[in-house]
Amino acid sequence: MWYPAHVSPREYGQPRRGGFKLLPLLLFGAYLAYYYFSNQQTVPLTGRKQLVDISRDQEAALGYQSYQQVLRQEQVLRSGREVDLVKSIGARLAKVAEDPGFQWEFNVIQSDQVNAFCLPGGKVAVYTGILPVAKNENGLAAVMGHEIAHAIARHGAERMAYQKLVQLGTLAAGVAFSDLEPAQQRMVMGALGVGAQFGVLLPFSREHESEADYMGIIYAARACFDPSEAPRLWERMGQAGGGRNPAEWQSTHPSHETRIRQLNEWMPEALEARKKTCGQ
**Residue-wise pLDDT tens digits, 170-224:** 777 777 777 777 777 777 667 766 666 666 667 778 899 999 999 999 999 999 9
> pLDDT tier at 90 (50, 70, 90 boundaries)?
very high
Task: Measure the CA–CA gap between 131 and 123, rounded to whole angstroms.
Answer: 18
pLDDT level of residue 11 (50, 70, 90 thresholds)? very low
Contacts of 262 (CB under 8 A, 6+ apart): 210, 213, 214, 254
140-166 pLDDT, tens per residue? 999 999 999 999 999 999 999 988 888
pLDDT at 6 over 50: yes
Quote the pLDDT of residue 220: 98
Better-predicted residue by pLDDT, 265 or 243: 265
Mean pLDDT, the chain, whole residue set: 86
Q: How far apart are CA 62 and CA 64, in angstroms?
A: 6
State the pLDDT at residue 65. 96
Q: Give the model's pLDDT for residue 12.
A: 46
Who wins on pLDDT, 205 or 40? 40
Catalytic residue numbers read 147
Q: With pLDDT > 70 as the criterion, what percentage of the chain qualifies?
A: 83
Q: Report the distance separating Cα 27 and Cα 199, nearest Å.
A: 22
State residue 245's pLDDT score.
62
Output 2 or 222, whichever has higher pLDDT. 222
Q: Is the pLDDT of residue 15 over 70?
A: no
Q: Beta-carbon neighbour count of residue 145 at 10 Å?
A: 31
Count Cβ atoms below 10 Å from residue 1 Cβ, excluding itself.
5
Asked whether residue 96 carries a pLDDT value surpassing 90, the answer given is yes
User: What pLDDT score does 192 carry?
Assistant: 66
Residue 101 confidence (pLDDT):
87
Of residues 272 and 203, the one with the higher pLDDT is 272
pLDDT value, residue 110: 98
Residue 265 predicted with pLDDT over 60: yes
* CA-closest candidate to residue 241, choices 54, 113, 101: 113
Tell me the β-bridge partners of 118. 124
Q: What is the model's pLDDT at position 56?
A: 93
